[in-house]
Amino acid sequence: MKARTKFEKQVATSNVRLTAVAPKVFEWGVRNLITHPAFRVPSGRTTCGDCGHKFIHKGKGKYVVCPKCGHELEIKDTFKRSHKEGTYFAILDTIDGLQVERVFLLSAYFKKGNSISVGHNEVCRLWLNAKGQTALTSKVRTLGCYRDCFNWGSTIELRNMTEVHHIIANTWHYPKYKAIPKLKRNGMKGTLPDCHPFDLMKGLLNDARIETLMKARNQKAVKYFIDNPRMLDKCWNTHKIATRHGYKIEDYSLWCDLITLLEKCGRDTRSPKYICPTNLRAEHDFWLDKSTADEERRRKAEQLLKAKKKEEDFFKNKSCFFGIVIKDNDIEISVLDSIEAYKAEGEAMHHCVFKCEYYDKENSVILSAHDKNGNRIETIEFSLTEYKVVQSRGVCNKNTEYHDRIVNLVNANAHRFIKARATA
């Protein structure tokens, strides 16, 4: 990619001026970011992955300290003789008034009986100027089964920033870092919050809200809002009010969820009564339940409204059957004659006669069977093409002891439906 803008030209120039990184930086990375194994066989013979020293260790713990080199090792119960570890690792540096995040792939190879061998490869550099403009220089990506495959022989030069670069740059950085004056002025001092380093620096240059949080040393908030930028837009004003009232947020994710729920339930998200709860978890759960119930009610109302619209058709097609009552000594079966009746039947019998819109089915009519005391027994679908019962079901779609009797009784009265339709 050719440098077009003034900024890109500046990056291209500074890119080749960057120098090698001191070995102690990678030593820090290997010590702190890589898991160091101890190979152990069932007899208890253990080999230190770092120095190759052999010793006997039978403990049940996950870790052991090598008696020779003193390194903490993670025990691997295995007959394998080698192990590979790798991780991305970044350093934050400055050059020619530009800020840069240099991303390396750090790798370690452990072979039983040998000392650890380590290596590192610089993958890409993410650039920023004081105005918050960004650019990327990188090795070229190759197409492989993993998205982060790079051609290690290629040079690091100006390329288009992709999602892959952004993802691998979200990694641990060497704790000693350099920052351009504007970043320092905007609050980049001391230990940084545990979030995407490049997004943090970009946020500090482009977003006064991040600057404010950083200067207030509110690392929890910075971390959460850098990782969830949409929540920052949504909750910022509410956050300001809560802070003004001296409210301390322990769990940002839970608190922002609470604000989202309050909004959904139509509550005032400027009122300390709602946004500064003593028991955040309990308040969150309360509004979650409320919002779920509201949602359910809204859904049901919508369904009823939809059904009402279909009511006209329903009356046109089915009213000729209204009033048909079929009974014997114990059972009384009648045609459902309104959408509400379908709804009541579906709710009482816990089946889908209403939800699946049986009232809208052109070629069937639905009847409800009751006992002498008026208790519902089964719901019957009677076909208007075959003039017989196609299904009859009790509570939760189960058959009852009256099932056969009901089916026979309705089928024996099929002629009444034919007649009703003929005279309609």
398 conformational bin, left if phi > 0, alpha if psi -120 to 50, beta if neither: beta
| Alpha-carbon radius of gyration of the chain | 36
Question: Which residues 63-122 are close enough to bind Zn ion by CB under 5 A?
Answer: 66, 68-69
Q: How far is the CB of 50 from Zn ion (least distance, A)?
A: 5
Q: How far is the CB of 197 from Zn ion (least distance, A)?
A: 32
Give the contacts of 415 (CB within 8 A, at least 6 positions apart).
none
Q: Does 53 bind Zn ion (CB under 5 A)?
A: yes
Is there a contact between 103 and 126 (Cβ–Cβ < 8 Å)? yes
**With contacts defined by CB under 5 A, how many residues of the chain interact with Zn ion?**
7
Smaller CB separation from Zn ion, 66 or 259: 66
Is there a contact between 140 and 159 (Cβ–Cβ < 8 Å)? yes
Smaller CB separation from Zn ion, 89 or 110: 110
Residue type, 237: N
Q: What are phi and psi of 297, to 5 degrees?
A: -65, -40
Q: Which part of the chain contacts Zn ion (CB under 5 A), choosing from 51-59, 296-304, 332-340, 400-408?
A: 51-59
> Crossing angle of helices 197-206/208-215, nearest 10°?
110
Q: How far is the CB of 112 from Zn ion (least distance, A)?
A: 12
Smaller CB separation from Zn ion, 14 or 46: 46
Q: Does 264 bind Zn ion (CB under 5 A)?
A: no
Smaller CB separation from Zn ion, 49 or 394: 49
Helix (H), strand (E) at residue 316: helix 311-318
Residue 409 tokens read as 């009784």
Q: How far is the CB of 93 from Zn ion (least distance, A)?
A: 33
The one among 11, 14, 47, 50 contacting Zn ion by CB under 5 A: 50
Q: How far is the CB of 73 from Zn ion (least distance, A)?
A: 7
Q: How far is the CB of 172 from Zn ion (least distance, A)?
A: 24
State how far the alpha carbon of 93 is from the alpha carbons of 46, 176, 204, 309, in Å: 41, 9, 16, 66
Smaller CB separation from Zn ion, 37 or 203: 37
**What does the per-residue mask of binding to Zn ion show for 6-45, with x meaning CB under 5 A?**
----------------------------------------
Smaller CB separation from Zn ion, 50 or 227: 50
Pairing label, strands 389-393, 54-56: unpaired
The one among 12, 25, 51, 161 contacting Zn ion by CB under 5 A: 51
Residue 227 tokens read as 């990782």
Q: How far is the CB of 137 from Zn ion (least distance, A)?
A: 39
Smaller CB separation from Zn ion, 72 or 296: 72
Is there a contact between 171 and 88 (Cβ–Cβ < 8 Å)? yes
Q: How many other C-beta atoms lie within 10 A of the C-beta of residue 59?
A: 11
Residues in the chain: 424
Residues that bind Zn ion (CB under 5 A): 48, 50-51, 53, 66, 68-69
